[in-house]
Structure 1
């Protein structure tokens, strides 16, 4: 199988590295030519909105993992950057018979009940409406697509995620962790290496649904912070939440914070996923937290 990973942000490097570690040759394409260093990873430059460049890149490819992020976490930026990118990629995939695998978020879906096999599109934000439009276009394409729905990221490379570096550093060093919203509610989290494994498994499958759920663990924000603290040898963690109303107040004059405030319902209500409906089991929380706090403890998890 010939595999192309487009994008080298939070997700792309995990997908490429997992493929390379199981002996697959993989090409990582970005505008800058960046990507993980591995003997089986080839790095190249690509403008994924350029139809002729995509035709050249897709000519001998079976699977594309489209792992490109927008340049800012705002609806205006997402609306400007993501639809043209996906239109170009889908058109190229249709011309060349390529299977496109996407990391997807929960933003487009109804989160009032646990997410399971019967996912209902019901966005509650501007960002969610953009995600819903992208999912609709994938479903209408003649190309085969698989969207792997992940919850909030944690793990190596989750730089600005709610459960990522902004939580890891304070929890591991004994400083106060300042998460958003309620810290005592159950919340589904996706470990980035698990998301990569789920995307690879979706690509390996000869058939399957258009939308699948990535592995998750459930933990409150306090419990996740405590897992990081314990991985660093600490018995407790100090947590002081930033209330959603404070984000909304700042969002009046700051577009980036306004976008984050609109998504705050994910942290002021429970976020649940039916773990039996996910594509594979998740890495246990304590194992994942240890791998984040102490990279030397990481080991490659055997995946199908």
Structure 2
């Protein structure tokens, strides 16, 4: 990244910067000295003009908008997704095609927050970057095709003057102060309200992987700093926070509530029965129900490849991460200073091969 900075080639376009991961990556890149542009469809731009990010009116579904916004950019962060899990088949692939067209034109690196949807039960319980991708759902099939197009774009073509590079970072379910739509903020607790109850979506005793959003963004930024030494098509898995029996996240939430003077919240089973009843009428719930298989069995990612490049994975201790998340969601009073994360990241234990 130093060469880019000294040459003035530090422009980056973030698609999906109004969302959780896109916004966090945009802010961290800005704080590292990148010249950050962000595309957004609607709403006022006046306030955003003062946050150090250049907000540009446009739509990721319109190729001309993406091509114009990406002019001169060395990196494109593709963190845009259809809202509420809906219309993936219609929207996901056209958006990545527009990003790839812009990346080829600029010779840019595309950064993608990946998912575990690509994998089916034959690859569980421990996922590696090269594990077979036999998706279990329609959304998983879309993600497999999306990554195929990304990989294809990195291969030189006689009719294309430039190719692009790709970095994919897969992580567990996101949580964080500005996470947006997530299982943490929509399933476990209710944003803006004191935590009285914590819902557990997983089957009893089944482990689940979580990832603190600022750690995921920090990982992406650090990989971008090393992108010249990476393969043209690079994939990495994060270990994040492993909840071995599906109760440790709820316990951390309880500790944060009690530390702020509240009563320990009640823990109960997530109302999947209600989702099942309502899903025929509500598209978002129907799509949500399709992903239940990820809560019925342990799914964990090995981070050996990431550690080989970075040395250690950015990792905020669970209690500090949960407390910051609950405060950001308005579930805890802001009077008490949140627990501080360590100045240097601590890496989680390595997984067995």
Q: TM-score range by the shorter chain?
A: 0.7 to 0.9
Deviation at 1:259, TM superposition (A): 1.5
Matches within 5 A, 1:96-107: 96-107=106-117
CA contact (8 A) 1:102 1:148 kept: yes
Specify the alignment match of 1:227 in structure 2.
252
Match of 1:128 in 2: 140
Aligned-pair CA distance for 1:174: 4.7
Q: Evaluate the alpha carbon distance shift between residue 251 and residue 14 of structure 1 in structure 2; reply closer, same or farther with a 3 A threshold.
A: same
The 8 Å contact of residues 219 and 314 in structure 2, kept in 1 or not, is answered as no
In structure 2, runs of 5+ residues without a counterpart are 1-9, 155-163, 308-312, 329-336, 346-353
Q: 1:132 to 1:224 in 2, by over 3 A?
A: same
Against the structure 1 CA distance between its residues 229 and 277, is the aligned structure 2 distance closer, same or farther, given a 3 Å change threshold?
A: farther
Q: Would the aligned equivalents of 1:226 and 1:236 in 2 still touch at CA under 8 Å?
A: no
1:288 alignment counterpart: 321
Distance 2:48 2:119 in 1: 32
Distance 1:249 1:243, change over 3 A: same
Distance 1:39 1:67, change over 3 A: same
Structure 1 residue 169: Cα displacement = 4.3
Q: Secondary structure at the match of 1:194?
A: helix
Match of 1:269 in 2: 297
- Residue 302 of structure 1, CA deviation: 5.9
On the 8 A contact 1:160/1:166 being kept in 2, the answer is: no
Tell me, which stretches of 5 or more residues in structure 1 are unaligned?
none
> Are the equivalent residues in 2 in contact too, given 1:168–1:225 (CA < 8 A)?
no
TM-score by length of 1: 0.87
1:238 partnered with 2:262: no
RMSD: 2.7
Give 1:120 shift.
2.1
Change in CA separation of 1:160 and 1:181 when aligned onto 2, cut-off 3 Å: same
Deviation (angstroms), 1:287: 1.8
* CA-CA distance at 1:183 after TM superposition: 4.6
Q: Which residue of 2 aligns with 1:95?
A: 105
Please state how far the C-alpha of 1:221 moved relative to its aligned partner: 3.9
In the other structure, the counterpart of 1:3 is 12
Q: Quick one: distance in 1 between partners of 2:92 and 2:174?
A: 20
Deviation at 1:165, TM superposition (A): 5.2
Q: What is the distance in 2 between the residues matched to 1:69 and 1:263?
A: 16
Distance 1:216 1:37 in 2: 33
CA distance in 1, matches of 2:140, 2:250: 27
Structure 1 residues 147 and 107, CA gap change in structure 2 (3 angstroms): same
Q: Which range moved further: 199-208 or 78-87?
A: 199-208
Three-state SS of the structure 1 residue aligned to 2:13 is: strand
1:138 aligns with 2:156: no
- Three-state SS of the structure 1 residue aligned to 2:267 is coil
Give 1:39 deviation, angstroms. 4.7
Equivalent runs, 1:1-304 vs 2, <5 Å = 1-7=10-16, 8-32=18-42, 39-74=51-86, 77-110=87-120, 111-142=123-154, 143-164=164-185, 166-169=187-190, 173-205=194-226, 206=228, 207-208=230-231, 209-219=233-243, 220-232=245-257, 233=259, 236-242=264-270, 244=272, 247-278=275-306, 280-295=313-328, 296-297=337-338
Supply the distance in 1 between the matched residues of 2:273 and 2:188 (Cα, whole angstroms).
20
Structure-2 separation of matches of 1:285 and 1:99:
32
- Any conservation in 2 of the 1:13–1:36 contact (CA below 8 Å)? no
Aligned residues: 301
Q: Following TM superposition, by how much is the alpha carbon of 1:56 offset from its aligned partner in structure 2, in angstroms?
A: 2.3
Contact 1:181 1:243 in 2 (8 A): no
Q: Determine helix, strand or coil for the equivalent of 2:255.
A: helix
Which structure is larger by alpha-carbon Rg, 1 or 2? Answer: 2
Distance 1:61 1:271, change over 3 A: same
Higher alpha-carbon deviation: 106-115 or 227-236? 227-236
**Partner Cα distance (2:50, 2:128) in 1:** 36
